[in-house]
Amino acid sequence: MNQVFMNLLANAIDALDESTAGLNFNDIKLNPNQITIHTALTEDKNHVSIRIQDNGVGISADVQQKMFDHLFTTKSVGTGLGLSIAYQIIVQKHKGTLEVNSVLGKGSEFIIIIPIY
């Protein structure tokens, strides 16, 4: 699971860096970079929900449809396989779910739901 969290946080940091490229300090100060992590029990109390949200560049609908596919990447060759691996860890190993909500220019939220054993 540590690999999943590190990957999602690294991607959020990359999105924030991309969103502030070319901006001056005052512009960034008006809309500061932010990563928020929320954890909670689901209503049935049988699962944990972990939400990692950023206010970065967001992800296009086209990329969202492919982002968990094996070998899909928007990064340079040899990198960017983390979301596929994260998906496998959450869904196959832990029998959970991994979803994304994103709006271009507004940011992204990754939602992990895993059962409590």
Say how far apart CA 42 and CA 77 lie, in whole Å.
38
**Residue 41 pLDDT class (50, 70, 90 cuts):** very high
Picking from 10, 26, 31, 1, the residue whose alpha carbon sits closest to that of residue 94 is: 1
**Token pair for 83:** 């979301």
Task: Quote the mean pLDDT of the chain.
Answer: 91
Which CATH code for domain 2-115? 3.30.565.10
Residue owning tokens 């994304």? 100
Say how far apart CA 64 and CA 5 lie, in whole Å.
18
**Residue 76 pLDDT class (50, 70, 90 cuts):** low
pLDDT of residue 51: 98
DSSP 24-70: -HHHHHHS---EEEEEEE-TTSSEEEEEEEE-SS---HHHHHHTTST
pLDDT of residue 70: 83
* Whether the predicted pLDDT of 62 surpasses 90: yes
pLDDT of residue 82: 81
Domain ranges of the chain: 2-115
pTM over 0.75: yes
